[in-house]
Structure 1
Amino acid sequence: MLDSITTQTTTNQPVSEGVLALIELRAYAYDVLRRTFASEPSQEYLELMKNTIVQFPFASESEDILKGIKAVDSSLNRSSGLSRQDVDGLQWDYTRLFIGPDQLAAPPWESAYANEDKLLFQKETLEVRGAYLKHLFLPAQFQQEADDHIGLELDFMYQLCLELYEKAKSGESFQEVLEDQQSFLQQHLLKWVPRFGRDIINNSTTDFYKGMASILMGYLSLDLGAVEELLTVNSAN
Structure 2
Amino acid sequence: MLDGMMAQKTFKPAGENVLALIELRAYAYDVLRRTFASEPSQEYLVLMKDTIDQFPFSSESEYILKGIEAVKKSLDQLDPSVGISKDVSEELLWDYTRMFIGPDQLVAPPWESAYANEDKLLFQKETLAVREAYLKYLFLPVQFQQEADDHIGLELDFMYQLCLILYEKMKSGDLSYAEVLEDQKSFLQQHLLTWVDRFGKDVVNNSATDFYKGMTNILTGYLSLDQRAIEELLAI
Fold equivalence (TM over 0.5): yes
Deviation at 1:78, TM superposition (A): 3.6
* Aligned residue number for residue 201 of structure 2: 198
Where does structure 2 lack aligned partners over 5 or more consecutive residues? Answer: 1-8
CA displacement, residues 196-220 of structure 1 (integer Å, 9 cap, x when unaligned): 0110000000000000000000000
Equivalent of 1:223 in 222, 226, 236: 226
Deviation at 1:74, TM superposition (A): 1.2
Q: State the alpha-carbon separation in 1 of the partners of residues 76 and 86 from structure 2.
A: 14
* Aligned residue number for residue 10 of structure 1: 10
* Aligned residue number for residue 4 of structure 1: none
* Aligned residue number for residue 52 of structure 1: 51
Q: State the alpha-carbon separation in 2 of the partners of residues 131 and 10 from structure 1.
A: 29
* 8 Å CA contact 2:37, 2:154 repeated in 1: yes
- Name the TM-score, length of structure 2 as normaliser: 0.93
Q: State the alpha-carbon separation in 1 of the partners of residues 149 and 78 from structure 2.
A: 38
Paired residue type of 2:122: L
* Aligned residue number for residue 3 of structure 2: none
Identity value in percent: 76
Q: State the alpha-carbon separation in 2 of the partners of residues 125 and 211 from structure 1.
A: 27
Where does structure 1 lack aligned partners over 5 or more consecutive residues? Answer: 1-8
Report SS of the residue matched to 1:102.
Answer: coil
Q: Count how many residue pairs are aligned between Structure 1 and Structure 2.
A: 224
* 8 Å CA contact 2:77, 2:88 repeated in 1: no
Equivalent of 1:95 in 94, 97, 109: 97
Q: State the alpha-carbon separation in 1 of the partners of residues 165 and 20 from structure 2.
A: 14
Q: State the alpha-carbon separation in 1 of the partners of residues 218 and 115 from structure 2.
A: 20
Report SS of the residue matched to 1:117.
Answer: coil
Deviation at 1:79, TM superposition (A): 4.5
Equivalent of 1:209 in 209, 212, 229: 212
* Aligned residue number for residue 6 of structure 2: none
Q: State the alpha-carbon separation in 2 of the partners of residues 10 and 153 from structure 1.
A: 32
Q: State the alpha-carbon separation in 2 of the partners of residues 146 and 187 from structure 1.
A: 17
Report SS of the residue matched to 2:143.
Answer: coil
* Aligned residue number for residue 74 of structure 2: 75
CA displacement, residues 72-115 of structure 1 (integer Å, 9 cap, x when unaligned): 01111244341111101000000000001111010000000000
- Are 1:25 and 2:24 counterparts? yes
Q: State the alpha-carbon separation in 2 of the partners of residues 79 and 229 from structure 1.
A: 39
Q: State the alpha-carbon separation in 2 of the partners of residues 82 and 135 from structure 1.
A: 37
RMSD: 0.8
Higher deviation after alignment, 76-85 or 134-143: 76-85
